[in-house]
Amino acid sequence: MFSVVIPSYQQGRFLREALESVLQQESCSEILIMDGGSKDDSVSVIKEYEDRISWWRSGPDGGQAQAVNEGVQRATGEVICWLNSDDFLVAGALKAVEDSFRSNPDLEMLVGSAFWCNEDATEFSFWSAPRRLMLGDLSKAYSFLAQPSVFIKRSVWEKVAYLDESLHFSLDYDFWIRCLKAGVRTKLIDFPLSVNRIQPSAKSRDARMFDEIFERSKFHFGKSDLRRPTGYLEAFGFDLFRIFPIRFIFSTIFRKINNRDSALPGSNVPLRYQKLAVRPKL
């Protein structure tokens, strides 16, 4: 049912965790790795798992969008998971996604919650999926969806014409807008499906990302309600969140807002998801 497309470049130190997080899932999937010609140990890691990988290649390409598009075009699964090699899935993610698609035959796009973690995956914070998903909302919030927690049917990729290969930072944001414009049937679940890793080479740490997203917002909506300064602060927000007093304040506010659950002091991760906020076993 699933095809997991993993674009990667110079991420050998994280790639093994990404692969293990997929292979340890209850639901079966095919894995396609699109490596951009890494010079680190990426290829060695890939070869360790070669007998469990459906297809892989390593060589220069046209960038992340081109790599993902190639992977999706080669995929045979009904539902596509685009997982960057420095991120990973949480235990039980694919089973939750499978259950959602099986119980909703007309569903085309599933959006789940997510965790954010630091470089070493020793500290986690929780990001809850939005309560609604409407086109206008994407003109106001660039980080409205957690990319690896978005699962989309392959037929949608074909209908919406894949990622725009001219984009470097806003390829996912632009794709979601086009999906909603095309009337793709969506569902949101308040269950963490993936972990987004915040590390020095991550695109989300590059302030140029917000300039490109700002321009894509104007392109699609004629104007943009996004604000660059807010984006710049959010790019480095996880570093601030690691400071205990700030973390404690935010976690306290979180517990007040989310009366249905609680979190440990100094954390915003709901207790019901604490066991999921861990790195894959290697």
Model pLDDT, residue 203:
73
Tokens of 126: 């929780």
Distances 58 to 7, 15, 42 between C-alpha atoms, Å: 10, 14, 9
Torsion sign over Cα 173, 192, 134, 70: positive
pLDDT of 234 over the 60 cut: no
Tokens of 213: 């997203």
Quick: pLDDT tens for 114-145.
Answer: 999 989 999 899 988 888 888 888 887 665 78
SS3 of residue 155 by DSSP: helix
Quick: pLDDT tens for 72-112.
Answer: 999 999 999 999 999 999 999 999 999 999 999 999 999 99
pLDDT of 235 over the 60 cut: no
> Where are the chain's structural domains?
2-276
Q: pTM score, two decimals?
A: 0.87
Architecture category of domain 2-276 in CATH: Alpha-Beta Complex (3.90)
The owner of tokens 């321009």 is: 215
Contacts (Cβ under 8 Å, ≥6 apart) of 34: 5, 6, 7, 8, 56, 57, 61, 67, 68, 70, 71
